[in-house]
Amino acid sequence: MKAKLYRLLEQRSATCPYFVIPLWRGSGYTTMFMQVQLPHMIFTGLEDYKARGTQASPYYTVTHFTEFAETKDTVLVRGDVVFTSKLTDAEAKCLLETAHSFYLNDVRYKLVERFNKETHDFEFKDVLQALEMPSM
């Protein structure tokens, strides 16, 4: 990713480190909970997070490597699926692209802000609508 986008992700995730993302599966979706602590992003199932809180095991971890940010204007990104029984590589790729889109797109980021700062006003159906997914 471009270094400028990483810096925006860094700025936004500092005040809004949590979000929920629906992951389409078959004829429905499962909801993933994410935490951003750059250079890392950690994803787990929302139900696991509800049951175990901070002790929930990550399904997928992402690391951003900034070594080339200044010289090449590039931040390398690596994702590792921890539980292959819970997440495929294709789902992980989709999850990362979706997460980046919510933090880097100004319109979508408003939902991330609402989730973190105005929780009582947050509606998950707005996330589904932003992703053009049907409400179940």
pLDDT tens digits, one per residue of 111-126 = 999 999 999 999 999 9
Taking all residues of the chain, what is their mean pLDDT, rounded to a whole number?
A: 96
> Does 54 have pLDDT greater than 90?
no
Q: What average pLDDT does this structure show over 51-74?
A: 96
Q: What is the pLDDT of residue 111?
A: 98
> Taking the CB of residue 86, how many other CB atoms lie within 10 A of it?
19
pTM attached to this predicted model: 0.94
Q: What average pLDDT does this structure show over 17-38?
A: 95
> Does 71 have pLDDT greater than 90?
yes
Q: How far is residue 48's CA from residue 83's CA, in Å, rounded to a whole number?
A: 13
Whether the ω angle into residue 39 lies within 30 degrees of 0, i.e. cis, is yes
Which among 29, 26, 56, 25 has a CA at the least distance from the CA of 43?
Answer: 56
The contacts of residue 26 (CB under 8 Å, 6+ apart) are none
Query: What is the number of residues in the chain?
Result: 136
pLDDT category at 13 given cuts 50, 70, 90 is very high
> Does 136 have pLDDT greater than 80?
no
DSSP, collapsed to helix, strand or coil, labels residue 15 as: helix
